[in-house]
Structure formats: structure tokens, C-alpha cells
Amino acid sequence: MNKINWNFDNTYSGLSNSFKENINPIPVIKPELILINKKLADELNLDFSKISNKELSEIFSGNLLPEGSNSIAQAYAGHQFGHFTMLGDGRAVLIGEHVSKKNKKYDIQFKGSGKTAFSRNGDGRAALGPMLREYIISEAMNYLNIPTTRGLAVVKTGEKVLREKNLQGAILTRVASSHIRVGTFQYISARQNSDELNIIFNYTLERHYPEIKKTENPALELLERLIEKQCDLIINWMRVGFIHGVMNTDNMTVSGETIDYGPCAFMDIYDPKAVFSSIDKMGRYAYCNQPAIAKWNLARFAECLIPLINKDFDKAIDIATQKINSFEKQYEEKWIVMMKNKLGLFNSEESDKSLILDLLTWMHKKKADYTNTFCDLMDLGPKKEVIYNDIDFIEWKKRWKKRILKNNNTKKKSVELMRNHNPLVIPRNHRVEEVLVSAEEGNLEPLNNFLKILENPYNKQKNTSNFQSLSGSNKKYVTFCGT
Ligand code: AMP
Ligand code: MG
């Protein structure tokens, strides 16, 4: 059974039952392999060469549990749209932590694996469309060089799941450096048991931040690390126009990886207030709100750490508040650097910020495509679009050219810098929908072609321009939670 080199070390399932429920995935009727991620398998040192697709489908549906796995549902809580709720893996199980030859640990989770103690009113299952969507977008994020969980496989279950209508059931195998969330800490913190808090805290340090174990105040260090990681992550999202859509605290990892691709989408037309999620009526998780929400979530994380930061409660609050309030400055500084990279600006000039803001204002006013505007500046757009003949844009471009040519710099050098920060291809919403429709009808070719293109977002390939073009439809794109 271990033909594929699983190497499990199940540290999380070794924690007490306060942290999880021991539960196996519920077997499915007729598993069928839809996607298998060979590149990721290589990274994990898994070998699928001696195994049939039939066997792979049995494994990645949870029908055939690998030797050495020890399956659990993890307990966690979370603020969902600002409201605190007890959650947990209601439709997922962690089968174990696979350790690669480089001694790197990867959580292997089956999403859509059936009911658990945390399912509340849900059926514990997932539908094919949303699982493929998570696979596509998380792979795209990975190749955009953005920390993320990944998809190792998608299997159809042969069962129906009832949503607004009957849909095909599926299970996604999700790989993450861990599934510890801000919400995991909130869950433990709400139980007010200091031993348990110490356990999850030490576990997190051991797993993700061993270098801070011996520092003077490891809890404060952990907070600082997470602020930095999450700040970097959001900067990356802003760079490529990614809108997560449900930045609840249970969907924020302590590893700094993007997790839970529900109603997420990439922005096309530049609009700071862009929201795609059907349930986000107030725009809480709009594009421009992502940094403020990250800070809010980090403050919830800080609250959990208070007893570990200082024995004196007031002192601990003061210290943590100061740290949390450092987020804005850090974000602002990193944002400028990111935008300067997108525009190929070396060194610093006082007028840089206004140059950046003027471009964004123009994009917003003229409803220009966020990604393609930067492609146009690099002369790598799909075709010369009329919008870029706009007089205000031409005037702005003159200022930009003058700026990049300062200090004997050349446009070539600037474009080299820009190429590393501006993708030519993002998973455009209409393309995602298109390949999902085909896949649901049984044609996987468009999906596989799309995944191939997304593996190389910064380089021009034969048919790149096909994937740069806009939808051509005026219909507003709406995304759903996919539960
Ligand atoms: P998510 O929207 O994926 O972040 O999920 C939020 C919470 O709802 C988590 O506790 C999930 O496990 C739970 N959940 C989502 N879908 C289902 C489902 N179909 N059955 C049971 N629980 C679910
Ligand atoms: Mg979630």
C-alpha cells in the first residue's frame, strides 16, 4: 500500500482530544481521479509511477487510507464577518503530516471527506466546481510566487451533493505547511485553559518558528513574525489584484500561507472597492480593505497571546497594542516598494508616491484593467487596446518615462524589474468559469491547458495572449462560498 512513499509523522493527532476529533473520512461510492499534481508530488517525494489511476482515486477519496496516516478533524473557532463562532473541520480531515526527504512537513488534508463532529448543519461534502476552483486558484497563486496551500489531487466521488441543485461530489487533497489558523488559537483561548494555550503555542513555535523558542519573549516574537508574514502576504495579493473574499480569522494561517479559496477572485477592472463574493454585501473584504482586515485579524491573534506576553494583563495589552499598531507603517512602506517594482522604479524620489497614485486614479476613472495596464507599460499587453491612447494616460506615461530614465537607467532595466512583479496571466474569472463548465461536463482538456498556462504567469508562451484578454461581457462576476 505504501507504493507511493508516504512518510507520515502525525504530531497534531498526538495532541489531546481538546484539539481534534479522531475520525476517518467517510468512504465514497465511485471515486474517479480528475486531477493529480505530479509536480507537487515530486516536491513531496511521492512517487505515483507504480500505481494505477484507479488506486490513486481510492487513496485520494479517502476510501483507502495510507499506512501510517492517522486521520483527524481539527477544532478551531473564528470571527466570521466579525462574529465569533465555534467552527472546526466540518467537511475535511487531516490524514497526517507527510515528511519529505528534505525533512519538510506537509499537512495532507481531504476536503469534502464527510461529516465530522464539527459539521453543524452541513453535509460534510464538497462539490466538484468549488474543489476544482480551489485547485486552479491555489496553483496559480503558487506560480505567482505567493505563499499558499496547494492541491495534490481532485477526485470525483460518484455521489451527488445537494446545494441549490444537485451537483457532482468531489474531494480535494489539500497540502499545507500546516492548518493552524488564527482561529485555532481563538478556539483554545476561549476554553480558558492555560495548559492548552501553552501546548498550541509551543506546537506552533516548534512547527513554524523554532528559531524564536529561545528568545526573551517568544509570544511577542510570534506576534511580530505573524504581523510580518501576513503583511507580506497581503502585499502580494494587492500586487496581483487578488481578492480573498472571506478573510475570516479561521481563514488566516499562522504559517502565512493563503488558505481557503471560496469566493475569491482576481480583479480585472481596477476598483479599490471591488468585491466578488455574493455574501459580502457591505464590502468588508473588498480589495482595498484587505490590509485593514489583516490588521483586525492580527489583533484577534494578539488577544489570544496576552497571557503569554506578560503576567501583568495591562502591560501585556500595552505591548501587544503597540505591536499591532506597527502594522500600518510596515504595510505602507512595503506597499510603496511593491508598487515601485511594478513600475520599474529604482531608488527613491519624493514624487514616486504621487506618480503611483495618479496611475491608480486614472485606472479607476477610466475602468482600466489592473493587470493589463502594467503589461501595456512593459509592451507585453495582448494587443494595443484603445484605452491606452487616452491623453491622460499618455501624459502620465511621459512623467513615468522621465522618472525611469533618471540616473542613467534604461527602460530595458526597468522592464526587467517589472517582469518579475507583473504577471502577464492571472486566472481571469471568465476563463475559470469556462474551464469549470467543461470539466463538469466531463471535458478536462481546457482545464489542463489552463493549468499549464498558469504555471508560467510571468513568461510569454505561445498562446499567452488568449489568456490575457478580458471577458467582453458586462455582466458582473459573482462568486459563492461553494459550500
Ligand atoms: P469555509 O467557508 O470553508 O471557511 O468554512 C467555514 C466553516 O463551515 C468550517 O467550519 C467548515 O468546516 C464548515 N463547512 C463548510 N461547508 C461545510 C459542509 N458542506 N458541511 C459541513 N461543514 C461545512
Ligand atoms: Mg475556512
Q: Which residue has the higher pLDDT, 249 or 470?
A: 249
Residue 474 pLDDT level (bands cut at 50, 70, 90): low
Task: Determine the Cα–Cα distance for residues 412 and 91; give it in Å rounded to an integer.
Answer: 50
Indicate the pLDDT class of residue 469, thresholds 50, 70 and 90.
Answer: confident
| Residue 79 near ligand 1, beta carbon < 6 Å | no
The residue among 75, 273, 95 whose CA lies nearest residue 193 is 75
Please report where in the chains the cell 499567452 appears, as a residue. 464
Question: In angstroms, rounded to a whole number, what is the distance separating the alpha carbons of residues 367 and 387?
Answer: 9
Average pLDDT over residues 203-230: 98
CA of 249 to the centre of ligand 2 (A): 9
Is residue 169 within 6 Å of ligand 1 at its C-beta?
no
Q: Is the pLDDT of residue 480 over 90?
A: no
pLDDT average, residue stretch 78-82: 96
pLDDT tens, residue by residue, 84-127: 999 999 999 999 999 999 999 999 999 999 999 999 999 999 99
Which three three-digit cell numbers place residue 44? 513531496
Whether 419 has a pLDDT exceeding 70, the answer reads yes
pLDDT class of 79 with cuts at 50, 70, 90 = very high
Mean pLDDT to the nearest integer, 5-11: 97
483 lines ligand 1 (CB under 6 A): yes
Neighbours of ion ligand 2 (CB under 5 A): 251, 260
Q: Whose CA is nearest to atom 3 of ligand 1?
A: 260
The beta-carbon contacts of 381-388 under 8 Å, at least 24 apart in sequence, are: 381/468, 382/465, 382/468, 382/469, 383/465
For residue 140, pLDDT beyond 60: yes
Ordered by start, the domain boundaries in the chain are: 2-178, 180-424+468-483, 429-467
- Please indicate whether residue 483 or residue 144 has the higher confidence score (pLDDT): 144
The average pLDDT across 288-302 equals 98
Q: With 80 as the cut, is the pLDDT of residue 241 above it?
A: yes
Pocket test for ligand 1, best of 84, 116, 119 (most atoms within 8 A of CB): 119
The bound ligand whose nearest atom lies closest to the alpha carbon of 74 is: 1
Among 10-24, 275-289, 308-322, 460-474, which is the least confidently predicted range?
A: 460-474
How far is ligand 2, taken at its centre, from the CA of residue 262, in Å? 8
- Ligand 1 atom closest to 250 (CA): 4
Average pLDDT, the chain: 96
472 pLDDT more than 80: no
Whole-number Å distance, alpha carbon 75 to ligand 1 midpoint, is 12
Would you say the CB of residue 279 lies under 6 angstroms from ligand 1? no
The three grid cell numbers given for residue 469, joined into one nine-digit string = 484578454
Q: Which residues pair with 83 in a beta bridge?
A: 80
Cα–Cα distance between 103 and 92 in angstroms, integer? 25
Report the nearest atom of ligand 1 relative to the CA of 251: 4
Q: Assess whether pLDDT exceeds 80 at residue 384.
A: no
Query: Lowest mean pLDDT: which of 90-99, 305-314, 460-469?
Result: 460-469
**Pocket of ligand 1 contains residue 217 by CB under 6 Å:** no
pLDDT at 481 over 90: no
Q: From the alpha carbon of 76, which atom of ligand 1 is closest? A: 10
Cα–Cα distances in angstroms (integers) from residue 102 to residues 7, 10, 37, 74, 94, in the given order: 12, 17, 19, 26, 21
Torsion of CA 378, 382, 385, 390, to 10 degrees: -20
Instruction: Summarize the confidence of residues 259-280 as an average pLDDT.
Output: 96
* Residue numbers annotated as active site: 250
Who's near 448: CB < 8 A, 6+ residues apart?
A: none
Mutate to test the pocket of ligand 1, among 84, 85, 91 (most ligand atoms within 8 A of CB): 91
Give, in degrees to the nearest 5, the angle at Cα 230 between 202 and 321.
75
250 Cα–ligand 2 center, Å = 6
Is 90 exceeded by the pLDDT of residue 483? no
Range 178-203 average pLDDT: 98
Give the ligand whose atoms come closest to the C-alpha of residue 114: 1
Residues 254, 257, 262, 263, CA torsion sign: positive
Interval between CA 74 and ligand 1 midpoint (Å): 12
For residue 111, the ligand closest to its alpha carbon is: 1
Quote the CA–CA distance of 477 and 475 in Å, as a whole number.
6
Mention every residue, 6+ apart, whose C-beta is less than 8 A from residue 360: 270, 272
Question: Is residue 266 over pLDDT 90?
Answer: yes
Q: Tell me if 56 CB under 6 Å of ligand 1.
A: no
Q: How far is the CA of 372 from the centre of ligand 2 (A)?
A: 31
For the segment 340-367, the average pLDDT, to the nearest whole number, is: 98
Instruction: State how far the Cα of 291 lies from the Cα of 235, in Å rounded to an integer.
Output: 8
Query: How much distance in Å is there from the Cα of 40 to the middle of ligand 1?
Result: 25
Among candidates 276, 300, 231, 227, which has minimal Cα distance to 80?
A: 300
pLDDT at 62 exceeding the cut of 90: yes
Asked whether 482 lines ligand 1 (CB < 6 A), one says: no
- Kindly report the protein residue whose alpha carbon is nearest to atom 2 of ligand 1: 481
Residue 162: predicted pLDDT: 96
Q: 358's torsion region: left (phi>0), alpha (psi -120 to 50) or beta?
A: alpha
In short, whether 91's Cβ falls inside 6 Å of ligand 1 is yes
Q: Which amino acid does the sequence have at 122?
A: G
On the question of pLDDT at 249 being above 90, the answer is yes
Among 21, 87, 89, 128, name the best residue to mutate to test ligand 1's pocket (greatest count of ligand atoms within 8 A of Cβ): 87
